[in-house]
Structure 1
Amino acid sequence: MAKIVGLPVDKLLKQLADAGMEFSGPDQVVSSTEKIKLLGFLRRAHGKAEAPAEAAGAPKKITIARRKTEELTVAGSGKAKTTVAVEVRQKRTYVKRDDVEAPVSSEREEVLRKLEESKSRNAEEQARLSELDRARREQIEAEKAEKERLAREAEEKARTAVEVAGKTAADAGHESRRERDEKHGHKPHKTEAIRHEPAKAVKDKAPVRAPAAKHKVRGSHAMVDNDIDDESGLQNISGQLHLTAAERERRAGAKKKPRAKPMEASRTASGQHGFSRPTAPITREVALGDSIVVSELANKLAMKGSDVVRALFKMGMMVTINQVIDHDTAVLVVEELGHKAVRANDNDAELALVAHLDEVRGDKTVRPPVVTIMGHVDHGKTSLLDYIRRTKVATGEAGGITQHIGAYHVETPRGVISFLDTPGHAAFTSMRARGAKLTDIVVLVVAADDGVMPQTVEAVNHARAAKVPLIVAINKMDKSEANPDNVKQGLVALEVVPEEWGGDVQFVPVSAKTGDGVDNLLESILVQAELMELKATVDARATGVVIESALDKGRGPVATVLVQEGTLKKGDYLVSGLQYGRVRALFDENGKQTDSAGPSIPVQVLGLSGVPDAGDDFVVVADERLAREVAQQRETKYRESRLVKQPGSRMEDVIAQMGAGQGQQVLNLVVKADVQGSVQALRESLTGLSNEMIRINVVASGVGGITESDATLAAASKAVVIGFNVRADASARKIIESNGVDLRYFSIIYDVIDQVKQVASGLLGVEIREEIIGIAEVRDVFRSSKFGAVAGSLVVEGTVKRNKPIRVLRNNTVVFEGELESLRRFKDNVDEVRSGTECGIAVKAYNDVKPGDQIECFERIEVARSL
């Protein structure tokens, strides 16, 4: 025991002695009672209440393990027998009932309450039955007493007659024995009296046996035999004292009635109706959403799935039970089958989102205008915006052409203006349309030496469709061949009339190169904004639109958003399209972190669950739960709508595909780009090239570098992989090389469209391909007073040549395209550096090279294409 409790033996003996138990040595045995006594003494010594001995010593749980071994003899191959040992193990655990706490719930409380009520009713019924039993026993005892009294009287009369006869016949001097007994107070024995009685008297005296009730006592219930039959209703109640009289009568009547036939109306003893066969068809109201699965529709109609499929087949729809049909088709099927269709309100999360936004509306204040720069390609839109922002953006674009939507805000002496720079090429029609929807004022840039061009007409149409005011900036006025009147005449043909000609459109001559007229343009924009009285709520949850989105390898999904209402803050929960998340960081257009962004301010947002589509609205909500529910509901609807839109669900579509499949060819493409806007523009432009001879099918598209899954998909679907400003990683290149997948890199969008258009239209021509001839990896960056940043690099593939164009890659994404300014080996200028050799590279007009970047050297070659 000293070892168990961790005490010296002497100290334990002293504690036992203090507790009143004398032990002479360490070898003596301490019983359980003495242990409990010592425990109580120690608890009292430390000021604690002494635990009950039985509670302290009683075990809380007992586990019994049993093992039983038997031998079985089984027949083997031939006549041989095999003995197998079988061991059966059992383990049972018994827990003390007091230690098991039954969970208390509302259902348990209700059951306990009903049990108490049932017990009280049973007690009352037992008391009533006991009272009836007592009354019955008293009645039986009274009848028995009355009969015994009558028997005694008859016996007394007979004895009197015998005494008279004996007195007359006996000797006068002799006293009979009866007389002596009577004299001494003794009653004659019953058999003796009967022996001396006459036959008639004995017959008259025969007692009548009363029906006696036989009682059986079991516990506290008085069990009465079934032989009792009286008006008190005590018959046939053995073992059913907990039932009321009405319930016993109902059960007794139910036993005598025959069982009712199925599917027919029946009435039970308690007056309740059973199942009855319907006499008319049942018309159901079926709630239908935007789409529904055929099997789910069959469940709502309480019909077999094959019947619904048959009805759809009669309507010309070839579907299976697991396919999705749209709302209109489902309504037609429901009405065809004789039921009523109602609109289901399955936008619970969307309604909660709308109500959530209505709660936080506040006072409106003046906000900055959002201005969109539009115009034809190479008319100077980005150069004009560069002069305003005092930066150069066009130098970072491929070929000096803007490929993305840029969002910036500038501060002027009269106020803040937010600018959206949209691309001017025809492929970016959808991107320009998004820019027009976001904007308050459109600045149409037209070159004075070029005049009105096709994209200029598109810009005017977009602005007119968006119903926003238009300001025309006549650019390149510094050129000698500038002709602003030609521009005005061309725009008047489009119903864009200058103010000096009696119209309502401001025409401002500017020069993006010299800066002439730029201040007048900003003044015109602010005057137009004052006339429009642009206002927005500042102290509210932010709402706005996604301008552009991309997938950054280091930062994850990045979305450029424009706040339209409220203030977007760091830490807010927002939902945008199918994506949601918490704002982890906000960056302005210069890459600096900011804590908040008010109305009309564009910022970059980090923290979304995925890359949202450009043009999606975003809304800030109070918690993550609502954002997740809205995003999940939108994703479900999007998936169902895609299933509904799948071709070939109608007979006409199937027959048309069968007819067209004989001569039509399919060109599968996998498109990957650096931003979401380029993905959308490429997908729409490429699929629009399809004709009756060839169909362009974009099997997959996305944002980011070309991954292993993209290469596997392209190999399986025999697709051409198009990388727009992105590159394939090492694992993807292995799959592409091993499967012979056609991989093409592009940086200018109309090169993609032109090549695919030539193939799709069946025209022979010269194909311009970009061939990578060398890749150098930047190991370190040195600063030079003559060349700026010099990248100490190692050529890892091919050969780097000084007279070839290069690109700077960061995380497999193009960040700059240009040419080399210097290529050196040690101190010598060289024309080329081969693989495995170190060199120093200075990139012309780019000083932001970082260690880990890749410098890609390429050349454009012309290849004769043959079909």
Structure 2
Amino acid sequence: MSQNNTIRQLAELVNTPVDKLLEQLKEAGMPFDSADQEVTSAQKVKLLGFLRRTHGRGESAAAPAGTEPASGKITLSRSSRKQELTVGGGKNKATVDVVVRKKVVLKPGASDGASTRPMTDERAEILRKLEESKQRNLDEQQRLAATDRARAEERQRKEEEVRLAAEEARLAAEAAASEVATQVAEAESETKPTRAPAKPGTHGHAAHPHPPKPARPGGQDDARNAGNAKHKTRGSHVMVAGVEDDDNAARFAGKLHLSAADRARRTTTTSRNKPRHSRSSDQSRTGGGEHGFQRPTAPVVREVTVGDAITVSDLAQKLALKGGDVVKALFKMGVMATVTQSIDHDTAVLVVEELGHKAVRPSDSDAETELLAQVEDAGQQGELAQRPPVVTIMGHVDHGKTSLLDYIRRTKVATGEAGGITQHIGAYHVKTAKGTISFLDTPGHAAFTSMRSRGAKLTDIVVLVVAADDGVMPQTIEAVQHARAAKVPLIIAINKMDKSDADPMRVKNELLAQEVVAEDFGGETQMVELSAKSGQGVDELLDAILLQSEVLELKAVPDGRASGTVIESALDKGRGPVATVLVQRGILRKGDYLVCGVQYGRVRALFNETGEQVAEAGPSIPVQVLGLSGVPDAGDDFVVVADERLAKDVAQQREAKRRESRLIKQAGNRMEDVMAQMGQGASQQVLNLVVKADVHGSMEALRESLSGLSNDQIRITVIGSGVGGITESDAQLAATSKAALIGFNVRADASARKIIDANGVDLRYFSIIYDVIDQVKQIASGVLGKEIREDIIGTAEVQQVFRHSKFGSIAGSIVVEGVIRRGKPVRVLRDDTVIFTGDLDSLRRFQENVDEVKHGTECGIGVKGYDQVRAGDKIECFERVEVQRTL
């Protein structure tokens, strides 16, 4: 038997009902509440002794303890279940057992003769062994009880030692805190007047209503009272008499930094004997306590910061809502967007207000503000000085722009251009005897409109080259409009004067239609006649440029941090990102940190237009910059900053803003737009392109030109574009989207070629923009396929109808238009309405079969499968032709 047993287990061991055993334990002075409670060895011994003393006292309760029962009677009980009875019916049906209990009392001298049986040796031996077993059990139970008592005493002793050590530490901490409080009180009493004495017995507080607590063991109360006696004689911070009796005050004695609210929060209001969870459960039910939850009485209105664009998931997070709730609100407003899509500022504001919140604009970023402050400080420093003029050469294709610049620079630039045309902006500065001039050479093709516009905005003077033998052309008019929009003065260079058919007067008259009046006609525009081939009039052009620059009084700060604009950018395989920039103020030096659009970096090297490395570049000087983190966009401004941290922060913030703007789905997110696209999706074909170019300007021009070829039949989409060679990712994009890959002055690397060959991607290389547009038109025509067109080749009018035994009805007709041919399909028209369409069965002239009958000739026509032809009907002969669809 184990050391401790439950009452239920003990009842099973001694074969006694649980209720009876509980009653016996209660009579023995050990009341138990449940049958699952444990009974120790000592309690078992106590119960055994009680049962021995009370055995046989049913009739003689006054018998002395320790004597044997006088009656000597034996009571036997027996119970048996006879049957089962069913009570009630339906759901209340129950089964009841019928038990019969019988009790038999045997007394000495009964008729059974049990007590008169003689005591045998065998019976005496059994009784002796039984007594020995009972004695061994009793000794074992007593030993176990003694062990339990020893363990309990040891545990109590250890707990008492731990409690005494904690109490000593607490008293020491209180004594130290009291000493500090005493010093503070003495210091304050020296500097402040003494307060008025409180009433006797109160000390400024109400008397404590609780009786004094009983003394604690170990002399703790004596030490506490001694401490209280010391406190009563101290200054203004002394612990008030009577309050020490409160357990809470004693608990926080010496903790002067706690306020009343903190003490109330840290003090438990339940007794030490109650479970610890009762206080927290009460507070959770009532909402009390400092950290208790309180239901808001009004809806929470949040201020949501919304920029130019925001994704639906980010907006839902700021609103503390599920993404699906925001999507539902957008759908109710007629906007179809997923959780990952981005919406613009106006749509986000409407959704926020619809959901009951307030939308606010984000404040300016700290990095941009710091950058603006540095730029303003740099702009206020330094004195203005004369700077060289920036001149942009513009004009129509093949009018001699680059040849003129070539003659000025004494180099052969035009011979290196593909197809003899300029396809990106070239930047040069030329030192002449009359001063330094910076030139920007822009392309003249129609696709490079944005490049010409960018050149006009960067320049001080526009030189418009017009061929004397060709006159004013579309790009000439466009250049005039760009210069006028940029408010830049024009100088007209009438080129190709060495040709025999040169007519400068024609050029001047045609420019009058564009409101460009020459000085000869009383206007303000200088016009110089020259020849880029022979050099005639080139000096007069330079004089006109310098004269115009003096009139403009061009000045800039020649020192300090540089700032300017990106003219062109490219990705060089050996040198990395390369940007051609035009310095507009300050000096750009090697080692400067600069931020350029969404890119940043440190200037590793500077090169001029001839490829020579230079140490610095001043105002109006174009240079190539190495060291940027990526390829910037042409037209981006650059600024030199103090350190790399600021440049990186500004670039990252700009990139994040640009990415948000790029994710905005301006088209296709409204339901009416989706319906419109569904309507035309069946008929409109799609051609996807991936375009890679050598410089950013060419890539931009190609993307705009190719996208502009779209019409109702086909939509041309540039799904990917970039600067530099064709990489593996470009080839993979073209393969997955089934797009054609176009390389403009770039080539594919080895890994890209493997993917292109494996997937059969259509890759085409180009160096002239004319060829790109022509080839894309051919590709688009192949995507469009062929269409079947019906051409009417002749019409005959029925004069009379004849009946033939073999051919049926024969229409005697005369050809009034075109020609009627055998084997072609025909239509029968009555009152200009088609009533039958079929084939020509027979065509006869008199009695002979003929292949065709021309205009004004009579013939007999048999229509296959139709014999209802009447006089006055028209027979229309036509043919079906396959035509290739083109743009």
TM-score bracket, shorter-length normalisation? 0.5 to 0.7
Counterparts of 1:764 and 1:661, CA distance in 2: 14
Q: How far has the Cα of 1:254 moved from its partner?
A: 4.1
Q: How far has the Cα of 1:455 moved from its partner?
A: 0.7
Q: Decide whether aligned partners of structure 1 residues 238 and 370 sit closer, same or farther in structure 2, where only a CA change above 3 A counts.
A: closer
Per-residue CA shift, 1:108-167, capped at 9, x if unaligned?
A: xxxxxxxx9988545579999xxxxxxxxxxxxxxxxxxxxxxxxxxxxxxxxxxxxxxx
Q: Which position in structure 2 is the counterpart of 1:740?
A: 760
Assess if the C-alpha contact under 8 Å between 1:295 and 1:305 holds in 2. yes
Per-residue CA shift, 1:690-728, capped at 9, x if unaligned?
A: 112111111211222222222222222211111111222
Three-state SS of the structure 2 residue aligned to 1:450 is coil
Assess if the C-alpha contact under 8 Å between 2:174 and 2:254 holds in 1. no
2:358 to 336, 340, 346: 340
Q: Decide whether aligned partners of structure 1 residues 755 and 276 sit closer, same or farther in structure 2, where only a CA change above 3 A counts.
A: same
Per-residue CA shift, 1:235-274, capped at 9, x if unaligned?
A: 46399444479788998894499976769775x7xxx896
Counterparts of 1:249 and 1:705, CA distance in 2: 74
Q: Does 1:295 align with 2:297?
A: no
Q: How far has the Cα of 1:762 moved from its partner?
A: 7.0
Q: Which position in structure 1 is the counterpart of 2:527?
A: 507
The normalised TM-score by structure 2 is: 0.59
Q: Which position in structure 1 is the counterpart of 2:512?
A: 492
2:375 to 348, 351, 357: 357
Q: Which position in structure 2 is the counterpart of 1:42?
A: none
Counterparts of 2:739 and 2:493, CA distance in 1: 45
Q: Decide whether aligned partners of structure 1 residues 764 and 595 sit closer, same or farther in structure 2, where only a CA change above 3 A counts.
A: same
Assess if the C-alpha contact under 8 Å between 1:125 and 1:241 holds in 2. no
1:311 to 329, 332, 344: 329
Q: Which amino acid aligns with 1:232?
A: G
Q: Which position in structure 2 is the counterpart of 1:568?
A: 588
Q: How far has the Cα of 1:652 moved from its partner?
A: 2.5
Q: Which amino acid aligns with 1:633?
A: Q
1:216 to 215, 218, 223: 218
Counterparts of 1:118 and 1:601, CA distance in 2: 80
Assess if the C-alpha contact under 8 Å between 1:441 and 1:525 holds in 2. yes
Assess if the C-alpha contact under 8 Å between 1:666 and 1:695 holds in 2. yes
Three-state SS of the structure 2 residue aligned to 1:545 is strand
The normalised TM-score by structure 1 is: 0.61
Assess if the C-alpha contact under 8 Å between 1:289 and 1:346 holds in 2. no
Alignment: residue pair count: 566
Q: Decide whether aligned partners of structure 1 residues 694 and 500 sit closer, same or farther in structure 2, where only a CA change above 3 A counts.
A: same
Structure 1, unmatched stretches of 5+, are 1-115, 129-209, 225-229, 766-863
2:470 to 442, 446, 450: 450
Counterparts of 1:627 and 1:262, CA distance in 2: 53
Q: Which position in structure 1 is the counterpart of 2:728?
A: 708
Q: Which position in structure 1 is the counterpart of 2:247?
A: 237
Per-residue CA shift, 1:7-54, capped at 9, x if unaligned?
A: xxxxxxxxxxxxxxxxxxxxxxxxxxxxxxxxxxxxxxxxxxxxxxxx
Q: How far has the Cα of 1:278 moved from its partner?
A: 3.2
Q: How far has the Cα of 1:638 moved from its partner?
A: 1.4
Q: Which amino acid aligns with 2:655?
A: E
Q: Which amino acid aligns with 1:329?
A: T
1:405 to 404, 422, 425: 425
Q: Which amino acid aligns with 1:667?
A: L
1:417 to 431, 437, 441: 437
2:614 to 566, 573, 594: 594
Q: How far has the Cα of 1:471 moved from its partner?
A: 0.5
Q: Decide whether aligned partners of structure 1 residues 237 and 597 sit closer, same or farther in structure 2, where only a CA change above 3 A counts.
A: same
Q: Does 1:463 align with 2:483?
A: yes
Q: Which amino acid aligns with 1:713?
A: L
Q: Decide whether aligned partners of structure 1 residues 212 and 690 sit closer, same or farther in structure 2, where only a CA change above 3 A counts.
A: closer
Q: How far has the Cα of 1:741 moved from its partner?
A: 1.4
Q: How far has the Cα of 1:676 moved from its partner?
A: 1.2
**Equivalences for residues 667-686 of structure 1 within 5 A:** 667-686=687-706
Counterparts of 1:626 and 1:120, CA distance in 2: 53
Q: Does 1:651 align with 2:641?
A: no
Assess if the C-alpha contact under 8 Å between 1:126 and 1:242 holds in 2. no
Q: Which amino acid aligns with 2:541?
A: L
Q: How far has the Cα of 1:359 moved from its partner?
A: 1.7
Counterparts of 1:377 and 1:211, CA distance in 2: 109
Three-state SS of the structure 1 residue aligned to 2:397 is coil
Assess if the C-alpha contact under 8 Å between 2:493 and 2:541 holds in 1. yes
Q: Decide whether aligned partners of structure 1 residues 253 and 424 sit closer, same or farther in structure 2, where only a CA change above 3 A counts.
A: closer
**Equivalences for residues 467-546 of structure 1 within 5 A:** 467-546=487-566
Q: How far has the Cα of 1:655 moved from its partner?
A: 2.1
Three-state SS of the structure 2 residue aligned to 1:321 is coil
Q: How far has the Cα of 1:406 moved from its partner?
A: 0.6
Counterparts of 1:429 and 1:481, CA distance in 2: 29
Q: Decide whether aligned partners of structure 1 residues 261 and 471 sit closer, same or farther in structure 2, where only a CA change above 3 A counts.
A: same
Q: Which amino acid aligns with 2:590?
A: K
Three-state SS of the structure 1 residue aligned to 2:733 is helix
Three-state SS of the structure 1 residue aligned to 2:378 is coil
Per-residue CA shift, 1:372-418, capped at 9, x if unaligned?
A: 00001111101111111111111001111111111001112221110
Three-state SS of the structure 2 residue aligned to 1:474 is strand
Q: Decide whether aligned partners of structure 1 residues 304 and 346 sit closer, same or farther in structure 2, where only a CA change above 3 A counts.
A: farther
Q: Which position in structure 1 is the counterpart of 2:709?
A: 689
Counterparts of 2:414 and 2:627, CA distance in 1: 29
Q: Does 1:431 align with 2:451?
A: yes
Counterparts of 1:551 and 1:733, CA distance in 2: 20
Q: Which amino acid aligns with 2:579?
A: A
Counterparts of 2:570 and 2:267, CA distance in 1: 81
Three-state SS of the structure 2 residue aligned to 1:583 is strand
Three-state SS of the structure 1 residue aligned to 2:443 is coil
Counterparts of 1:382 and 1:222, CA distance in 2: 104
Residue range with higher mean Cα deviation, 417-426 or 289-298: 289-298
Counterparts of 2:264 and 2:579, CA distance in 1: 79
**Equivalences for residues 63-74 of structure 1 within 5 A:** none
Three-state SS of the structure 2 residue aligned to 1:580 is strand
Assess if the C-alpha contact under 8 Å between 1:122 and 1:242 holds in 2. no
Assess if the C-alpha contact under 8 Å between 2:284 and 2:292 holds in 1. no
Q: Decide whether aligned partners of structure 1 residues 759 and 538 sit closer, same or farther in structure 2, where only a CA change above 3 A counts.
A: same
Query: Greater CA radius of gyration, 1 or 2?
Result: 2
Three-state SS of the structure 2 residue aligned to 1:644 is coil
Counterparts of 1:263 and 1:284, CA distance in 2: 29
Per-residue CA shift, 1:554-579, capped at 9, x if unaligned?
A: 11111111111111101111111121
Q: Which position in structure 2 is the counterpart of 1:322?
A: 340
Q: Decide whether aligned partners of structure 1 residues 671 and 547 sit closer, same or farther in structure 2, where only a CA change above 3 A counts.
A: same
Q: Which amino acid aligns with 2:403?
A: S
Q: Which position in structure 2 is the counterpart of 1:104?
A: none
Structure 2, unmatched stretches of 5+, are 1-171, 185-211, 227-239, 272-277, 786-882
Three-state SS of the structure 2 residue aligned to 1:280 is coil
**Equivalences for residues 715-734 of structure 1 within 5 A:** 715-734=735-754
Q: Decide whether aligned partners of structure 1 residues 358 and 602 sit closer, same or farther in structure 2, where only a CA change above 3 A counts.
A: same
Assess if the C-alpha contact under 8 Å between 2:252 and 2:263 holds in 1. no
Three-state SS of the structure 2 residue aligned to 1:628 is helix
Counterparts of 1:310 and 1:715, CA distance in 2: 36
Identical amino acids, percent of aligned pairs: 69
Counterparts of 2:494 and 2:450, CA distance in 1: 24
Q: Which position in structure 1 is the counterpart of 2:155?
A: none
Q: Decide whether aligned partners of structure 1 residues 264 and 648 sit closer, same or farther in structure 2, where only a CA change above 3 A counts.
A: farther
Assess if the C-alpha contact under 8 Å between 1:375 and 1:381 holds in 2. yes
